[in-house]
């Protein structure tokens, strides 16, 4: 878990180097333990500084050109849920999305989910809020929605809601990757909602009330709780550590760097599906179980060679400090200081050729029947196109030394529409219009 100092909001910054061709550009590795540092994660002088999105009230504004919860400075806690749509009626689905939007607008402002609330309706009325967030501040709550491929066309080819022709080409099921051990019951989904907040009860409250409002229209397919953000999405946030103990997200895309976000994150006006998705982004989730016990028996040298960074400072091997440029020409004796099968080498943009915005979280879901921790990283990545984003990076990691210590157990992809623009707007309006 991160402390108060880690929740500082961005104040802007200056770029030290450009994206490609220069050592130290940031990367978007799939379990990137501080993959790289540089221009992707640094604002340029032309980028407008980002002010505290929560202000003095702890509330992140809900409306805007992009959904909150993507480049919003990463909060401490996560409750992520994927839904199956169980109605066959388009009007019921649209009605639920409108109700969800109204509730999200209220809850992110620190209000009850409904106009009456948890206690003001009288003794014989059913409350329109569950009440567990009474007295709590907004805690930086953001709610982000996405639409899965099966909302447009089911696995058997059925177009339930007349949306098949509006499915953008990049919204496709992810290909199989070597080493995957995916659980179908914890993968996919017609819809998803990502709730992030600095108080876990606020995040859980938000999801609980959306589930309540969606009863009879959607059903929960799978969900994931997360703690201890594993990425920083603003330059002012300290780089956190993942459960392997390494700094994670040193060179992540940062909210201050508008040029990089436009290039790698936001769907553009000329992209497929831009008639309803422009200003949105694609979301990939992967539940990555870390083999904690074998990792904990590895020597420090083996761990650092696997990652390509020092465990203490987070510096690239062969360098002194976390944000020093990643230099693959540095040697240690006769060998490269950064091994060619290390995570840093394979995930670096000069080798992977792309960047994604990560905002994942650690998880510990008890233990398995053999007494081993069921723990790891709930990987979340946003990108302009999954095919040229996550898929490209993941294919580059086939020979990653870290694969000995991790296993991907769930997978999903969603298209996240742009933000709502005013009181009459609602999640998915452009898609369903």
**For residues 198 and 218, is the Cβ–Cβ distance under 8 A?**
no
What are the residue ranges spanned by the domains of the chain? 24-45+54-101+140-432
Separation of alpha carbons 332 and 330, rounded Å: 7
Closest C-alpha to 23, from 305, 350, 306, 317: 350
Separation of alpha carbons 352 and 112, rounded Å: 45
Query: Taking all residues of the chain, what is their mean pLDDT, rounded to a whole number?
Result: 89
pLDDT of residue 369: 87
First to last CA, the chain: 42
Residue 28 has pLDDT above 70, yes or no: no
Give Cβ neighbours of residue 432 (< 8 Å, ≥ 6 apart): 90, 94, 97, 161, 163
Token code pair at residue 223: 């969900």
Token code pair at residue 384: 């302009």
Reduce the DSSP state of residue 375 to 3 states and report it: strand
Residue 273 binned pLDDT confidence (cut-offs 50, 70, 90): confident
Q: Is the backbone of residue 348 left (phi > 0), alpha (psi -120 to 50) or beta?
A: beta
Closest C-alpha to 236, from 42, 420, 433: 42
pLDDT of residue 57: 58
Handedness of CA 8, 14, 18, 24 (dihedral sign): negative
Judged on CB neighbours under 10 Å (0-12, 13-18, 19+), 169 is exposed
Token code pair at residue 409: 């157990």
Residue 117 has pLDDT above 70, yes or no: yes
Q: Give the Å distances, CA to CA, from 309 to 32, 33, 135, 241.
A: 11, 8, 44, 13
Structure pTM?
0.88
pLDDT of residue 94: 98
Token code pair at residue 260: 């990089």
Helix or strand (DSSP H, E) at 96: helix 90-107
Token code pair at residue 363: 């998880």
pLDDT of residue 274: 87
pLDDT of residue 422: 86
Residue 43 binned pLDDT confidence (cut-offs 50, 70, 90): very low
Question: What count of other Cβ atoms lies within 10 Å of the Cβ of residue 267?
Answer: 25
pLDDT of residue 221: 98
**For residues 180 and 408, is the Cβ–Cβ distance under 8 A?**
yes
Residue 13 has pLDDT above 60, yes or no: no
Alpha-helical (H) ranges within 121-227 are 149-152, 200-213
pLDDT of residue 31: 58
> What is the tens place of the pLDDT at every residue in 389-427?
999 999 999 999 999 999 999 999 999 999 999 889 999
**For residues 84 and 189, is the Cβ–Cβ distance under 8 A?**
yes
Residue 51 has pLDDT above 90, yes or no: no
Separation of alpha carbons 345 and 308, rounded Å: 7
Determine the length of the chain: 433
């Amino acid at each position: 878990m991160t402390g108060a100092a880690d929740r500082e909001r961005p104040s802007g910054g200056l770029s030290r180097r450009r994206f490609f061709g220069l050592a130290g550009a940031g990367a978007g590795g799939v379990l990137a333990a501080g993959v790289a540092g540089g221009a992707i994660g640094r604002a340029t002088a032309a980028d407008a500084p980002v002010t505290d999105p929560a202000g003095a009230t702890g509330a992140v504004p809900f409306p805007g050109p992009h959904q909150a919860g993507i480049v919003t400075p990463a909060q401490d806690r996560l409750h992520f849920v994927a839904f199956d749509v169980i109605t066959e009626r388009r009007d019921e689905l649209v009605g639920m999305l409108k109700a969800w939007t109204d509730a999200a607008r209220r809850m992110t402002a620190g209000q009850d989910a409904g106009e009456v609330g948890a206690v003001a309706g009288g003794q014989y009325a059913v409350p329109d809020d569950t009440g567990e967030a009474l007295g709590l501040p907004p805690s930086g709550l953001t709610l982000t929605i996405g639409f899965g491929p099966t909302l447009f066309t089911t696995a058997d080819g059925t177009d339930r809601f007349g949306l098949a022709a509006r499915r953008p080409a990049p919204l496709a099921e992810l290909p199989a990757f070597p080493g995957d051990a995916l659980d179908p019951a914890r993968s996919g989904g017609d819809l998803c909602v990502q709730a992030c907040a600095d108080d876990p009860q606020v995040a859980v409250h938000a999801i609980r009330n959306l589930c309540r409002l969606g009863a009879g229209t959607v059903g929960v397919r799978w969900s994931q709780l997360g703690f201890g953000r594993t990425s920083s999405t603003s330059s002012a946030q300290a780089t956190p550590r993942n459960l392997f103990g390494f700094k994670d997200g040193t060179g992540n895309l940062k909210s201050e760097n508008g040029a990089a976000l436009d290039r790698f994150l936001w769907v553009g006006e000329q992209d497929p599906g831009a008639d309803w998705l422009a200003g949105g982004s694609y979301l990939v989730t992967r539940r990555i179980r870390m083999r904690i016990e074998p990792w904990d028996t590895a020597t420090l040298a083996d761990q650092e060679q696997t990652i390509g960074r020092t465990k203490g400072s987070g510096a690239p091997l062969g360098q002194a400090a976390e944000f020093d440029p990643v230099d693959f020409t540095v040697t240690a004796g006769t060998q490269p200081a950064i091994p060619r099968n290390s995570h840093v080498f394979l995930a670096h943009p000069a080798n992977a050729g792309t960047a994604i915005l990560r905002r994942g979280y650690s998880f510990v879901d008890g233990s398995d029947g053999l007494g081993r921790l069921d723990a790891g990283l709930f990987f979340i990545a946003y990108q302009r196109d999954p095919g040229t984003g996550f898929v490209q990076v993941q294919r580059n990691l086939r020979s990653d030394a870290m694969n000995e210590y991790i296993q991907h157990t769930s997978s999903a992809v969603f298209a996240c529409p742009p933000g709502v623009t005013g009181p009459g707007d609602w999640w998915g309006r452009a898609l369903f219009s």
